[in-house]
Structure 1
Amino acid sequence: MDLGLSGKKAIICASSRGLGRGCAEALAEAGCDIVLNGRNESVLAATKSAIQERYDVSVQSVAADVSTREGQDALLAACSAPDILINNNGGPPRRDYTELTREALLEGTVQNFVTPIELIQAVVPSMKERGFGRIVNITSLSVKMPIEGLDLSSGARAGLTAFLAGVSRQLAPHGVTVNNILPGKMDTDRLKGGFELSAKQSGKSVAAVREEQAAGIPIGRFGNAEEFGQACAFLCSQYAGYITGQNLLIDGGLYPAAF
């Protein structure tokens, strides 16, 4: 399927690995010129090389922490007027709410609430001028259901969701859509960290914890970055212009609800 994205420009935050990389690869496959981002320069360089070898698109990389003003400025220097913005960022580590200091609370809020809003503020004017823009925020299943130890991440991401609910309607008349993707248990480094914590608490092996958690998902497995990225690319496509202000769960049916 031609997604109508050939020649479009996309910034994908935190895209050197995991779900961000899945989104970058899917957009490159669709013909987008992309700007990758990550904090580990060697991992970022390897991802850039792999995508350049596979797809005939322009690939730039910016090694920076997107939560900082300097990091955001570097991204926008690489692509000042993107057609597509994928907001993604690492969340605060798993931690019981009683252990959260004021400093940790503020840092988590900056990572998962303030940063995406700042980037949206920066890229929206040029999107409105062109009459086309796609903004996709990678949040979490924890926006809709509690996940132990992720209270701060959940709160910040839920705040972002509520904040952008109104913003998405303001931007809709200008051809700019804003949607959120809520990953469930995806086979990423963050999920593996959760296995290790659960194994330590329960006395079970990491393999046993992994098997038990996969069995608890109706589809019977964890999600992967490739299928996640393809869903993201569709939300950026010419066919998704009538979809905005929505939260797409990609969780294998884990969230038990009719609506």
Structure 2
Amino acid sequence: MDFGLGGRVAVVPGATSGLGLASARALAGEGADVVIGGRRAGLAREEAAALPSAIGVGVDLTAPSGPETLVGAATDAFGPVDVLVLNGGGPAPGTAAGMTSGTAAEAVDLLLLPHVRLVEAVLPRMRERGWGRIIAIGSSGVQQPIDGLAASNVGRAALAGYLKTLAGEVAGDGVTVNMVLPGRIDTARLARLDRARADRQGAEVEGVRKESEAGIPVGRYGTPDEFGAVVAFLASRAASYVTGEQIRCDGGLVRAH
């Protein structure tokens, strides 16, 4: 299938590793011109150099000017942004009972506000040109809260509400808005979470992983490439009638409909 992404401009922040990098690689593989954003400028440029048509930009999305800087670099290099992937780091683990107004505000600052600013920077031109894809990398915690990740559950749920509302407002302009909800995908962040859980339980990391895999119908953790393929599909012209959705990529982990 031709995804129709040849010559399209895709911006992927938080893309020097993990799901962001997997998404950038998948989009590049379909012919998109890709802008890799990340705090580590050197690594962003290094990963971009490995792709057919890409640049790397060092950027801190939590800085008020960060989103505008990233979008400006993309426009200068390739032209108006066609595909925006919303992605960034997650808050530290913690319980809801232990959450304070400060940690709640930090979750919003990390998981909502930078993404709203990114959308502000690209949406007007997408609507003018009658084509755009906004795809957020979320978490299965949006639909089934994850124990011990209260701040992440709160911040990502806020983003989900914003994007669902936005999807209905811009669909008539040819702009689709979706979320991809990863379950347990084999990334460095997941390895850190497994380690933290093992430390809390006084258990071995391998035992924690096996226990987690036993709760996934597919019987294993997903790969970043499997996740990136879903992002690339949602960016494609084949997905032009898919909007306002939360697509799970979790091996059947979440039991909700």
TM-score category of the 2 structures, normalised to the smaller one = over 0.9
Aligned-residue RMSD, C-alpha: 1.3
Which residue number corresponds to residue 146 of structure 1? 145
Distance in 1 separating the partners of 2:88 and 2:103: 16
Compare 236-245 and 104-113 and name the one that shifted more. 104-113
Which residue number corresponds to residue 163 of structure 1? 162
Distance in 2 separating the partners of 1:162 and 1:103: 21
Which residue number corresponds to residue 110 of structure 2? 111
Compare 229-238 and 96-105 and name the one that shifted more. 96-105
Shift of 1:224: 1.2
Compare 176-185 and 192-201 and name the one that shifted more. 192-201
Shift of 1:42: 3.6
Distance in 2 separating the partners of 1:125 and 1:42: 31
The alignment's TM-score, normalised by the length of structure 2, stands at 0.94
Distance in 1 separating the partners of 2:178 and 2:189: 23
Residues 163-202 of structure 1 show CA distances to partners (whole Å, capped at 9, x for unaligned) of 2222111101110000001110111111111111121122
Which residue number corresponds to residue 20 of structure 1? 20
Shift of 1:104: 2.6
Compare 115-124 and 218-227 and name the one that shifted more. 115-124
Distance in 2 separating the partners of 1:38 and 1:76: 13
Which residue number corresponds to residue 129 of structure 2? 130
| Identity among equivalent pairs (%) | 38
Q: Is the 8 A contact 2:104 2:154 kept in 1?
A: no
Give SS of 1:37's match.
strand
Give SS of 2:176's match.
strand
Partner of residue 65 from structure 1, selected from 60, 67, 70: 60
Residues 62-94 of structure 1 show CA distances to partners (whole Å, capped at 9, x for unaligned) of 111112222212202212420010000111110
Unmatched runs of 5 consecutive residues or more in structure 1: none
Give SS of 2:91's match.
coil
Which residue number corresponds to residue 38 of structure 1? 38
Q: Is the 8 A contact 2:38 2:59 kept in 1?
A: yes
Distance in 1 separating the partners of 2:166 and 2:201: 43
Alignment length (residue pairs): 253
Shift of 1:44: 2.1
Shift of 1:234: 0.5
Give SS of 1:31's match.
coil
Q: Is the 8 A contact 2:85 2:134 kept in 1?
A: yes
Distance in 1 separating the partners of 2:218 and 2:137: 21
Shift of 1:215: 1.9
Shift of 1:130: 0.9
Shift of 1:4: 0.4
Give SS of 2:154's match.
helix
Q: Is the 8 A contact 2:178 2:244 kept in 1?
A: yes
Compare 31-40 and 196-205 and name the one that shifted more. 196-205
Give SS of 1:79's match.
helix
State yes or no: 1:86 paired with 2:81.
no
Compare 182-191 and 208-217 and name the one that shifted more. 208-217
Which residue number corresponds to residue 11 of structure 1? 11
Distance in 1 separating the partners of 2:104 and 2:248: 26
Which residue number corresponds to residue 102 of structure 1? 101
